[in-house]
Structure 1
Amino acid sequence: MLPRTVLPRTPATLLSLTCALALAGCAGAPSEGEDGSSSDASARSVTYTSCGQERTLDEAPTAAVTLNQGATEVMLALGLEDRMAGTAYIDDGVSSRWQEAYDSVPVLAEEYPSLEQLLSVEPDLAYASYGSAFADDGVASEDELEQDGIGTYLSPFGCGDDAERPETTFENVWSEIETVGTIFGVEDTATELVDGQREQLDEVREQASGEGTDILWYDSGDDTPFVGAGEGGPQLLIDAVGGTNIFADLEGGWADGSWEDVVDAEPDVIVVPDAAWSSAEEKVEHLESDPVLSELDAVQQDRIVEITYSQATPGATMVEGAQSLSDGLAELDAS
């Protein structure tokens, strides 16, 4: 066999800035320094919406804790590691370009920290990607944290109410990045980051390395495959490269598929995300050892692309995920 290709996985949120001065209007937006941060960011308050709830911080956070990899990578992509008091719950490992910055931030827990662990670093903001962070079996509720003087921000994609949760699109992912940029007073940095990702995504779409390719996004599961469905990150990445998701007709971002449907579809390529709870290696081993699945052309010809799980979830690496998938498909075609 040829070696597998292994590669690095609604409305926009509304923001309204308020002046900390007791004036009828603002004299102007804070100026930004060379690092993209507002020169008087700590002197201004910010009001934003988090899953339909209006929240206000008296000043820009200086000791934030991120709960989930998506939130962590947004902060690192914006160069805000010096404003992070801690982080927790990484799915597969941060992008290598942010590894040094990530290593400078205390890791509070492998998964969600206890409330005591969170309070020990005296945070002024808890930023999470998933609602589970603020659920009963998570860290604490948003109301409880606010009673302790800790602001909260939950990614729009983690909202429990369907009406508050936006469609998974690159535009909405970028909206979250811009929201975080505004909360921390680094609006110019956020704009520069988003503009760069727009250009990179345009290049991926132009390459169309997945055109005419039927793709199985095999997330996890042995007896029943948990697959990339038609409304989430996997579909977004497959669309970006011009491919066809064999389970695009399933609702949601991920869903239970069936091996019978996989065999009938005979996908050209199988994508296996690498995650802490289900490694790419484990999934490949299952495909190669199963007497039926091992006969699929994609398995026989080793047309398997590995990316990280986090690259298919909303955050700062989704465009990187599209690039990784595009590069993987191109390498398969070149081999």
Structure 2
Amino acid sequence: MLKIKLTAGICAAAFVLTACGGTNSATETKADGDFKPITIENCGFEMTIDKPISRIATLRQAGTENLFALDQQEKMIGTGSLRDAVLPKWQADYEAIPVLSKTVPTNEQLRSVDPDFIVTTQEGSYTKQLSGTREEWRDLGVATFVSNTECGTPEESGFELIFRDYEQLGKMLGAEKEAAALIKEQRSMVEKGAMKSGKKLTFLFGTKDGGLVYVDGKKGIANDIANITGSVNAFGNLPETRNEISMEAFADADPDYIVIADLSGRGLPGDTAAEKIAVLESHPAAKNMKAVREKKYIVIPGVGLDASVRSVEPLNIVAEQLKKDA
């Protein structure tokens, strides 16, 4: 059983490991299979795990692929909310795991597979209307995890918070070596993307009927991509990861480049980059933008804008295009 309690007043980004017997090792398994309990703090929750986690359910694709990257496929019993196609190297693994829901799984759908650990990258998944609150799962003895990007400080880079996710998940799941290797690999990729472009970017996530668009603001990976490449996110003053604005406001930003999220793997109307470009080139306010006239588009995999193992992909695509045009 997983014994879980909420600790009030904990620093939101804190993560503390206290193994029984005074050790700091997150997972200690003796030759006979004994497991030493550990105490974990994740975004304000304290959990004592007294047996190895073996039944993991994920609520969103970002969490699913993070676990794939840590080689945890065999422990996964259900996934949800596929934003785009998973990487080809993980397609067979994905198909072998039951899909609990095409959207975020409900509390009932999760209970049907009896998980002992639930992973998501977005705090908003843990509501009574969606997957159940962390308090509800705590009372059932089920551990929950949310990305540190949901509880980090404004001064912390989104990529460093993602790396903290790997480190914490690795310790909880006995995958410390996999986590360390992944952090090393991705930190190198982030460093490769560093430059000083001086360009203004807009990150167009989606379009909506009525001349509205969704742009990424200051709370998200898009803003980190702008910062790392020495660019300016034209809508970095907006408070949320996804912000709904008018096409007129979008056009007034007058960016040097429009970074367009392609979600073609999901297959919903308006998901492809081509469809979003068509909207821009036909809308009265947008079609006269310099970036639209000159087709200054940078197409990225939209799934990478959700904080995850995939986030280095849009960073490197944006950096490469900016370097090419410098």
TM-score by length of 1: 0.81
User: In the aligned structure 2, how far is the partner of 1:261 from the partner of 1:29?
Assistant: 49
The aligned amino acid for 1:316 is: V
Q: Say whether residues 1:268 and 2:261 are aligned partners.
A: no
Question: Displacement of 1:78 after TM fit?
Answer: 0.6
Q: Say whether residues 1:15 and 2:20 are aligned partners.
A: no
User: In the aligned structure 2, how far is the partner of 1:107 from the partner of 1:303?
Assistant: 38
Specify the alignment match of 2:230 in structure 1.
242
Alpha-carbon spacing, 1:41–1:181, altered in 2? closer, same or farther (3 Å): farther
Secondary structure at 1:43 match in 2: coil
The aligned amino acid for 1:134 is: Y
Q: Which runs of 5+ in 1 are unaligned?
A: 1-9, 33-37, 159-163
Map Cα deviations across residues 174-211 of structure 1 (whole Å, 9 max, x no partner). 11111111110111211111011111111111xx3x71
Alpha-carbon spacing, 1:102–1:141, altered in 2? closer, same or farther (3 Å): same
The answer (yes or no) to whether the contact 2:217–2:223 under 8 Å persists in 1 is: yes
Q: Say whether residues 1:214 and 2:221 are aligned partners.
A: no
The answer (yes or no) to whether the contact 1:311–1:318 under 8 Å persists in 2 is: yes
Question: Displacement of 1:41 after TM fit?
Answer: 7.8
Q: Say whether residues 1:224 and 2:217 are aligned partners.
A: no
User: In the aligned structure 2, how far is the partner of 1:150 from the partner of 1:250?
Assistant: 35
Mapping for residues 286-305 of structure 1, pairs under 5 Å: 286-305=279-298
User: In the aligned structure 1, how far is the partner of 2:48 from the partner of 2:165?
Assistant: 17
Mapping for residues 55-204 of structure 1, pairs under 5 Å: 55-158=47-150, 164-167=151-154, 168-204=157-193
The answer (yes or no) to whether the contact 1:30–1:40 under 8 Å persists in 2 is: no
User: In the aligned structure 1, how far is the partner of 2:100 from the partner of 2:304?
Assistant: 23
User: In the aligned structure 2, how far is the partner of 1:291 from the partner of 1:181?
Assistant: 50
The answer (yes or no) to whether the contact 1:145–1:151 under 8 Å persists in 2 is: yes
Secondary structure at 1:294 match in 2: coil
User: In the aligned structure 1, how far is the partner of 2:189 from the partner of 2:203?
Assistant: 22
The answer (yes or no) to whether the contact 1:234–1:312 under 8 Å persists in 2 is: yes
The answer (yes or no) to whether the contact 2:304–2:311 under 8 Å persists in 1 is: yes
Secondary structure at 2:46 match in 1: strand
The aligned amino acid for 1:81 is: Q
The answer (yes or no) to whether the contact 1:13–1:179 under 8 Å persists in 2 is: no
The answer (yes or no) to whether the contact 2:82–2:103 under 8 Å persists in 1 is: yes
Secondary structure at 1:15 match in 2: coil
The aligned amino acid for 2:95 is: D
Secondary structure at 1:226 match in 2: strand
Specify the alignment match of 2:314 in structure 1.
321
Q: Which runs of 5+ in 2 are unaligned?
A: 1-10
The answer (yes or no) to whether the contact 1:64–1:84 under 8 Å persists in 2 is: yes
Question: Displacement of 1:103 after TM fit?
Answer: 2.4
The aligned amino acid for 1:188 is: K
User: In the aligned structure 1, how far is the partner of 2:26 from the partner of 2:158?
Assistant: 29
Specify the alignment match of 1:54 in structure 2.
46
Which is worse superposed, 81-90 or 287-296?
Answer: 287-296
Q: Which has the higher contact order (CA 8 A, sep 6+)?
A: 1
The answer (yes or no) to whether the contact 1:272–1:304 under 8 Å persists in 2 is: yes
Secondary structure at 2:274 match in 1: helix
Map Cα deviations across residues 89-116 of structure 1 (whole Å, 9 max, x no partner). 1222223333233222221111123334
Taking only the aligned residue pairs, the percentage that are identical comes to 27
The answer (yes or no) to whether the contact 1:13–1:176 under 8 Å persists in 2 is: no
Question: Displacement of 1:28 after TM fit?
Answer: 6.6
Question: Displacement of 1:328 after TM fit?
Answer: 4.1
Question: Displacement of 1:270 after TM fit?
Answer: 0.7
Alpha-carbon spacing, 1:49–1:41, altered in 2? closer, same or farther (3 Å): farther
Map Cα deviations across residues 33-52 of structure 1 (whole Å, 9 max, x no partner). xxxxx978871222111321
Specify the alignment match of 1:4 in structure 2.
none
The answer (yes or no) to whether the contact 1:229–1:248 under 8 Å persists in 2 is: yes
Q: Say whether residues 1:308 and 2:301 are aligned partners.
A: yes
Mapping for residues 20-35 of structure 1, pairs under 5 Å: 23=21, 25-26=22-23
The aligned amino acid for 2:309 is: A
Question: Displacement of 1:257 after TM fit?
Answer: 4.2
How many residue pairs are counted as aligned between the two chains? Answer: 307
Question: Displacement of 1:54 after TM fit?
Answer: 0.7
